[in-house]
Amino acid sequence: MNTIGRTTANWIILGLTLTFLIGPFLIIILAGASDTEFLAFPPQGLTLRWYAKVFTVESFRASFMLSMGLAIFGTLLALVLGVPAAYALNRYDLPGAETVRTIVAAPIIVPGIIVGLALLRYVVVPLDVTVTMALFMAHTALVLPYAVRVVSSSMHNLRGDMEEAAVLLGCSRFQAFTKVVLPNIRGGVLAAFILGFVTSFNQVPVSLFLSGPGVRTLPIDMLAYMEITFDPSVAALSALLAFMSLAIVFVAERLLGFSRYV
Amino acid sequence: MSDTYVQLTDLTLTYGQSVAVPELNLGIREGELIALLGPSGCGKTTTMRAIAGLLAPASGRITIDGRDVTRVPANKRGIGLVFQSYALFPHLNAFENVAFGLRLQKLSANEITERTLQGLATVGLTGYDKRKPAEMSGGQQQRLALARSLVMQPKVLLLDEPLSNLDARLRLEMRTELQRVQKETGVTMVFVTHDQAEALALADRIVLMKEGRIEQLGTPADLYARPETAFAAEFMGFENIFRVEGGKVVSDKGTLPLGFATTSPLLAWRPDGVTVGSGPHEGRVVATSFAGAHREYVLESALGPIKADADIALPRVEIGETLTFDLPEATARPLAA
């Protein structure tokens, strides 16, 4: 193929890829603005009333708060567990470290439906935990692999002799960790938090199993809403959530070069 | 030994099941610059880590200034260590790197600033206090690491391969710098190196180590002129080492008659101790190179290859030609078996 042909082919592939990635996003933005009582694309007339309605639906507000809470505190707990785990896996030549790495990654590899069912059958029911607690545990477990992975990669270049140097200057092992290790993996920890937050917030299959009466995460609530009401407000809400995720990733990229860690 | 400052007594150091250093005994004097010299795996770094408290000995004792510190943790031992990689804190600037240890001591802000700036000045880094380590050259980073240890006024300063990461010109500069700092502060310095030239140039005394044991201990002049074993001789540049059997010099390749009587089982000659251009023996030139003040030859003789330095005034002999040489008594170093 000549150069022009190859360039054209590249542009076509790039165009298709972008269409595929951005197309659905444009569709929901427009569908949410359709001046109809039902979900329609292409939109028939344009209005912002569905975008406004989103904020008036009581269950959306409750489930949004729940999803926010799960995403923030579940990810924080995953980091509290994951940062020391990543540190131990990197720093010490532990027997079976490879196995631990594989197990930690399991929730990424195993389909969410299976994780949800397993948690329901073997944790939630036997232990009789509340729905909120069950969701909290599940979201923490789902985010943990990302926390360990992302923090691990930022710890990889951190040499052990820096901590030894800190100890010889008078630090305890713990001080060496807080004064030398943590400041140098700050970017990785923030990246892990954002990735975990977005993962948790958008999580569907596991939450589907664990949600209970009156306690639903936002994505599950949207599914339930759509089963009864088919107006464009769900599309409007989806568009708003997509903008939120986009804004978070954009700010993160600007502040700390997020893409270096993921 | 009344002036011993650091004393290692029957110190045994292990990694898991393998013994790296068995029952080491060594006395280090106050204010001296001592080198632990040896090839990799000889236990020199292990010994240094044990003195620092980063490695707990399996048995034995370490005393510093008369006090048993064997069980004192590294952060309470008051010992400085300049790492081979420098181990600077990348998130802190030069000032904060040096101030790091002082801040932990909860000193007054004035004293911290004063001592930190003084420390930076000692190593010639005045004005660099705002720089991050990544914005400094290798030589500057090393001096920063040195300052960071020195401001703590350590009882002993340990240096791990202090010159190995520097280029030739900086090496010379740093060597002078270390000697000057040592003279100014009077701190006892122990440095680890595999480079005999570095040890000879810097140290007051050299501890030559092999397989976890002290092979020989002495001043640079001592070790250079009077190595006692084949290992020490080889390390000090005696490149021609042969057995003596029945008045003959013997190698695995063959024998040559020896021109004098000796009772030593081994004899060694430096390349510049071999007479070239005259003598009873002959060798074929297999390699030659110009080295400024002299010309280096490798001669294939009845003993196998002989390394010999010839005066530059002698005419150059090409590869494949034959040269006469001698292994004279005057430059022969007798060694223990």
> Model ipTM?
0.84
pLDDT attached to residue B273: 92
- The span from the CA of B5 to the CA of B11, in Å, is 16
- The answer to whether the Cβ–Cβ distance between B104 and A172 falls below 8 Å is no
Kindly report the nearest CA distance between residue B54 and chain A, in angstroms: 8
Cβ B100–A162 below 8 Å, yes or no? no
Asked if domains B4-229 and B238-335 share a fold, the reply is: no
**DSSP letters along A85-121, please?**
HHHHHHHS--TTHHHHHHHHHHHHHS-HHHHHHHHII
In this prediction, residue A149 carries a pLDDT of 87
A184/B101 Cβ within 8 A = no
Q: Are B249 and B279 in contact (CB under 8 A)?
A: no
**Cis link prior to A42 (omega < 30° from 0)?**
yes
What's the token pair of residue A111?
Answer: 């389909």
Q: Do A170 and B104 touch (CB under 8 A)?
A: yes
Does residue A180 sit at the B interface (CB-CB below 8 Å)? yes
Say if the Cβ atoms of A161 and B83 lie within 8 Å: yes
Q: Pick from B85, B91, B152: which is nearest to A169 by CB?
A: B152
Q: State whether B89 and A170 contact (CB < 8 Å).
A: no
A181 touches chain B (CB under 8 A): no
pLDDT digits (tens, 9 = 90+) for A125-166: 888 888 889 899 999 988 998 899 889 888 887 888 899 999
DSSP B13-43: EEETTEEEEEEEEEEEETT-EEEEE-STTSS
Query: Could you tell me the two tokens for A208?
Result: 């589907």
Measured at the CA of B126, the angle between CA B121 and CA B132, to 5 degrees, comes to 115
Query: Inter-chain contact A165–B81, Cβ cutoff 8 Å?
Result: yes
Instruction: Identify the residue among B15, B69, B72, B91 best suited for mutation to test binding to A, counting A beta carbons within 10 A and taking the highest.
Output: B91
Classified by CATH at the fold level, domain B238-335 comes out as: OB fold (Dihydrolipoamide Acetyltransferase, E2P) (2.40.50)
The pLDDT, as a whole number, for residue A262 is: 56
- In chain A, pLDDT over 90 holds for what percent of residues? 28
Q: How far is B89 from chain A, CA to nearest CA, in Å? A: 7
Cβ-Cβ contacts under 8 Å, B85 against chain A: 159, 161
Residues in chain B: 337
Residue in A with minimal Cα distance to B105: A170
Least CA distance to B146: which residue of chain A?
A: A165
The C-alpha atoms of residue A213 and residue B232 are separated, in whole angstroms, by 82
Count of positions (residues) in chain A: 262
What is the DSSP pairing of strand B240-245 with strand B266-269?
antiparallel
Please, what is the end-to-end C-alpha distance for chain A in angstroms? Answer: 36
User: Given this model, what pLDDT does residue A104 score?
Assistant: 79
Cα of B328 to nearest chain A Cα, Å: 50
Task: Give the pairing type, strands B205-210 and B33-37.
Answer: parallel
Cα Rg of chain B (Å, integer)? 24
Asked if A183 is an interface residue toward chain B (Cβ–Cβ < 8 A), one would say: yes
Q: Determine how many CB atoms are found less than 10 A away from the CB of residue B39.
A: 12
pLDDT at position A211 is 83
CB contact under 8 A, B90 and A166: no
| CB < 8 Å to B46, chain A | none
Q: Do B81 and A164 touch (CB under 8 A)?
A: yes
CATH architecture for the domain at A57-260: Orthogonal Bundle (1.10)
**Domain-by-domain residue ranges, chain B?**
4-229, 238-335
The maximal CA–CA distance of chain B, rounded, in angstroms, is 76
State percent of chain A over pLDDT 70: 97
Q: Mutate which of B72, B83, B107 to test chain A, going by most A C-beta atoms within 10 A? A: B83
- The residue ranking higher by pLDDT, A245 or B86, is B86
B44-66 exposure pattern, b = at least 16 Cβ within 10 A, e = fewer: bbbbbbbbbbbbebeebebbbee
Residue A151 CA to residue A195 CA, distance in Å, equals: 11
* Residue A193 and residue A150 in contact, taking contact as beta carbons nearer than 8 Å: no
Comparison of pLDDT for A262 and B182, the residue scoring more: B182
What are the chain A neighbours of B134 within 8 Å (beta carbons)? none
State whether residue A132 sits within 8 Å of chain B by CB: no
pLDDT attached to residue B1:
44
For residue A196, CA distances in Å to A143, A199, A205, A210, B1 come to 5, 5, 16, 19, 63
Is A161 close to B79, i.e. CB distance below 8 A? Answer: no
Q: Using a CB-CB distance cutoff of 8 angstroms, which residues of chain A are in contact with residue B149? A: 168-169
pLDDT at A226: 86
Query: Which residues on A lie below 8 Å from B87 (Cβ)?
Result: 159, 161-162, 164-165
Mean pLDDT, chain B cut into blocks of 10 residues (337 residues total) = 82 90 94 93 93 94 93 93 93 94 93 94 90 91 93 94 82 85 90 91 94 94 94 92 90 89 92 91 92 91 92 87 92 90
Nearest to A168 among B80, B85, B90 (CB): B80
- Nearest C-alpha in B relative to A164: B54
B74 closest CB neighbour out of A162, A168, A179: A168
Residue A182 contacts B, CB cutoff 8 Å: no
pLDDT level of residue A261 (50, 70, 90 thresholds): low
Cβ contacts below 8 Å, chain A against chain B, sum to 57
Residues of A in contact with B75 (CB under 8 A): 167-172
Determine, for residues A180 and B81 on separate chains, whether the beta-carbon distance falls below 8 Å: no
Residue of A nearest to B80 (CA): A168
| Angle in degrees, 0-180, between the axes of helices B109-122 and B138-150, rounded to the nearest 10 | 130
CATH match of B4-229 with 2.60.40.350: no
Span A8-37, pLDDT tens digits = 899 999 999 989 988 888 888 888 888 888
The maximal CA–CA distance of chain A, rounded, in angstroms, is 71
